[in-house]
Structures are given as C-alpha cells and as structure tokens.
Amino acid sequence: MLDGSGPYGAYLSRGKSRVENGKEINVNAYRKLLAKAVRVLVPGILVLLSSPGALRAQQFLNVDCTGANPFAYPSINAALPNATPGTFILVTGPCTENVSLNGQNALNLGAYFGQTATINGAISINNSQNLFLYGLNVTNTAGDGITVSNSSRGISLNVCSSNGNAGLGLRVNGGSNVIIGASGAFSHNAGGGMNIDGQSQVGLVAWAGPVDISNNTGPGVWESGSSLFETLGATNITNNVSGPGTNPGFGIELVGGARAQVGGLFGPNTVAGNQAGGAFLQENSEISFWSIGQPNLIQGNGPVGVLAGLGSQVTFYDISGPLGAQITDHTSAGVDIYANSQVFFHGTNEVLRNGTVADPRSAGIRVDGNSEAFLRGGQISGNSGPGVLVLVNSSADFSGVSFSGNNGVIACDSSSTMVSDLTGPSSTPPAGVSCRTPHGLGGRQITKTQPLVPDWSAQKAQHDRYAKLAVKH
C-alpha cells in the first residue's frame, strides 16, 4: 500500500515531511534519469531474450534445422551444451545429425506438441536419467536408430518412431529402463525391431496407440539376459521375416531367462504373419498373455503360434472380457511345448484351425519331452490332428474345455498321460480320446495370482505436462 501503512510507509512519511520542511527532492531529474535507463536497457533485454544463448533458453531452447529461424539453434547438438536439468529442447526438422545424450538428467527433447521432427541419423542415450523424448522420427541408414545403454533410467519415448534403419529400431542394454508412451513405431528395420538385453526393461504404455513393430528383417522383439518386455496394448507385432544367418523372423524371441508380459488393456495385441512363428522361448524364459477386456490375437505365424522349450513357461490368462487369447491358422501347431516346459490356459481362450494334413505331428496344442499342459476352460476346435497331442513322458491336465471339429480330442503315446473331466482311470474313454489316465484323484488345483491393473498415471502426467508446455507461440 502507498498510504504510509505498508512496508514503505516510514520512507514515504519521511519523504513527505522533508518536502514540508522545504527540503526539495528533484523529482524531475529522477524521472529523466529513469526514462533514459529504460530506453537504453529494454532493447538490450529484448535482444538477449531472443538469442539462442538467452537466460530464457535455460528453460526452452529452440532448434530449427531448416535455418528458417535465425534466432534458433541450427542443430540439436548445438543446443545440448546449454541444457540444464528441466530444459525443453524444441525441434523443427528435418535434422541430419547423430545425437548423443550422455550423462543428461531431466531433459525434454522433441518436436512441438502435436508435431513431429525427423532425425536423419542415430540417437544414443548413455548413463542418463529421466529423459522425455517426443515426436521424433528416427532413421539411420548406417546402423541402429535409437540406443539406450549403461544404466539409463526413466527414459520415455512418446509418439516416437525408429523406422527404416540399417540396424535395429531400438537397442536397450546395460540395465536400462525405457517406457514407450502414447504410441510409436519400430518397423522396416534391417536388423530387427527391438533388442533388449542385460537385465533391461522396455514397457509399452500405448493409451493413444498402437505401437507398431512390423515388417522387420529379424524378430520384432528379441530379448535376453533376464530382461523384461511389457505391453498393455494395443501392439501390432506383424510380418517380421527371417534375415541372414541366425536372425529368424519370430514376432517375439526370448532366450536366457527373459520375461515378457503381453497384456490386453488399452487395445488388442496382434501377433500375426511372422515368418518363423509368433513367439519363441528357450532357456528358462517366460511369457504371459493376459487380457483385461481386450484380446491377444496370435494368427497365421507360419508353422507355430507359440513355441516354448528348454525349461520355459507360457501362460494364457483371461482376467475379464469375452476373449483372452485366440491362436489360429498355423501350419503345424497353435502352441508347441517341449523339453521340460509348461503351458497354462485359464478362461476363455481359443485354439482354432491349426495344423495341416501333411504334418503328422499337427495339433492344436502339442506337448513333448517331459512337458506339461494345464487347461482350465476355453475352446479347441477345427485343428488338423488332435486337439491336444502328448508325447514322450509328458502330461495334460484339463477341465472345462470345449473340443469340436478336431481329428480327435487328445492323443498320447504310450509314455504320456492325461487327467481330465472326460474319463476316469477305469472307464471307457469317449470317442477321440486315446490317452491313459493314471489315477482317479482329479486334476491339480492351480492357483495363479492375477496381474494387477497397472498404474500408468505417471506416464500420462508426464505426457500431459509436455503437451502443456511444448507449444509453439
């Protein structure tokens, strides 16, 4: 307040008394001096704020790789030395450069919200934390598109693509953590879609989806080293083909204790048209296909939908919704389990139209080599060969399953057994059942914890914050 009662009241009162006492204050001279200062300082401040190295640029650094904006940085690499934690680097492309984000923290890099920027080159992220990349379309004709390594954590790729690279679309290793948010694409790459290794994690949170991992030479997703791949849908892993050497065209390939969670929440997951098979697991790896209202569609992947061996495990779990997983139209088997491995079906899952007359081992589900199948509910129909084929010291334990249109319900060799709700150990088996039942104690009680609905609010909040701030004015 200016009535003498505020913090400046005593000063104003003293000034007033001085005037009253005849001690003049040269107000006119003060006003002239102030006006002169304003004329001198304001243009300089405006020039400072409009320059690339401005104080304001510590928060927002503008990059225009086209050269149309003379006040913007000409490249991302030119802007990076001036970035501090919390900085937004907003890019107008296309940019032809290799971008290295080494030791960065809390950096936002991307196109203006609602737009995209093309990067002709590679993006490598090393030993960095809490980076948010938005709207970047990466193509590297000399190698991998995006690489995240060396314990980089909290790396978010939102509405980003890495397509048409000479190597991989995305490589993640060294205990790193990556979230792919909103939507994305990792397709048409010469070395495969994604490679996840060294106890790393990649999560797909595609609430605005889908994420497309398709038409790669090599697997859509390759994973090893006790790493984790997760998706909440919608995800398309389709039409990946085999490359030269040992680079098979599976949709998902897991080895070395790798794990995958394929969840239908935001939309359906489609694994289809992959040349070598839909999913391949070895060496104590695990994959779960679960559904909360959206199905997992595994369709027409060459010889097999899901192939698991050497101590691996596969789960199909329908939590809620009309359909969990649908596994259809493969030339040998819908699901093939071998070498001390297990498969578990729970709920409304369908295994349909798999196998061919030319393959004597065709079946809806094939269980081989000291392996086990547990089925609770679902439908197995229209397969060439038996609904379930059990070989070499293996077993099938099932109840509540609907069989129709197969070449037999279940067939076992002399070393294998079944426990089911179809027949007891001493009763005459119904038509299509050629498998012995070793006891009348009933099937095993299986309790498997349902996955919790994931909390993706933090990823959405980060996206919304970028949408609010990264706007071109």
Whether 311 and 200 map to the same domain: the answer is yes
Whether 170 and 271 map to the same domain: the answer is yes
Q: Domain for residue 472, yes or no?
A: no
pTM: 0.86
pLDDT class of 448 with cuts at 50, 70, 90: low
What is the number of structural domains in the chain? Answer: 2
Where is average pLDDT lowest: 287-296, 342-351, 433-442?
433-442
Whether 355 and 253 map to the same domain: the answer is yes
Whether 364 and 218 map to the same domain: the answer is yes
pLDDT value at position 105? 97
Task: Give bridge partners of residue 362 from the DSSP assignment.
Answer: none
- Measured between alpha carbons, how far is 260 from 145 in angstroms, rounded to an integer? 23
- Measured between alpha carbons, how far is 391 from 371 in angstroms, rounded to an integer? 9
Q: Domain for residue 114, yes or no?
A: no
pLDDT value at position 169? 98
Q: pLDDT tens-digit profile of 369-386? A: 999 999 999 999 999 999
Whether 37 and 167 map to the same domain: the answer is no
Q: Domain for residue 407, yes or no?
A: yes
3-state secondary structure the chain: CCCCCCCCHHHHHHHHHHHHCCCCCCHHHHHHHHHHHHHHHHHHHHHHHHCCCCCHHHCEEEEECCCCCCCCECCHHHHHHHCCCCCEEEEECCECCCEEEECCECCEEEECCCCCEEEECCEEEECCEEEEEECEEEECCCCCCEEEECCCEEEEEEEEEECCCCCCCEEECCCCEEEEEEEEECCCCCCCCEEECCCCEEEEECCCCCEECCCCECCCEEECCCCEEEECCCEEEECCECECCCECCEEEEECCCCEEEEEECCCCEEEECCCCEEEEECCCCEEEEEEECCCEEEECCCCEEEEECCCCEEEEEEEECCCCEEEECCCCEEEEEECCCEEEEECCCEEECCCCCCCCCCEEEEEECCCEEEEECCEEECCCCCCEEEECCCEEEEECCEEECCCCCEEECCCCEEEECCCCCCCCCCCCEECECCCCCCCCCCCCCCCCCCCCHHHHHHHHHHHHHCCCC
Where is average pLDDT lowest: 199-208, 302-311, 362-371, 451-460?
451-460
Whether 166 and 281 map to the same domain: the answer is yes
Q: Domain for residue 349, yes or no?
A: yes
What is the average pLDDT value for the chain, to the nearest integer?
A: 88
| Domain range enclosing 272 | 139-434
pLDDT value at position 444? 83
pLDDT value at position 411? 97
Where is average pLDDT lowest: 138-147, 237-246, 252-261, 302-311?
237-246
Whether 42 and 143 map to the same domain: the answer is no
Whether 42 and 181 map to the same domain: the answer is no
Q: pLDDT tens-digit profile of 84-116? A: 999 999 999 999 999 999 999 999 999 999 999
Record the tokens describing residue 110, joined without a space.
């991307």
Whether 168 and 278 map to the same domain: the answer is yes
User: Is 140 a residue whose pLDDT tops 60?
Assistant: yes
Record the tokens describing residue 207, joined without a space.
């609430």
Q: Domain for residue 466, yes or no?
A: no
Percent of the chain exceeding pLDDT 90 equals 78
Q: pLDDT tens-digit profile of 219-278? A: 999 999 999 999 999 999 999 999 988 889 999 999 999 999 999 999 999 999 999 999
Whether 176 and 31 map to the same domain: the answer is no
Whether 149 and 21 map to the same domain: the answer is no
Q: Domain for residue 105, yes or no?
A: no
pLDDT value at position 26? 36
Q: Domain for residue 447, yes or no?
A: no
Q: pLDDT tens-digit profile of 34-76? A: 333 333 333 333 333 334 443 444 489 999 999 999 999 999 9
Q: Domain for residue 278, yes or no?
A: yes
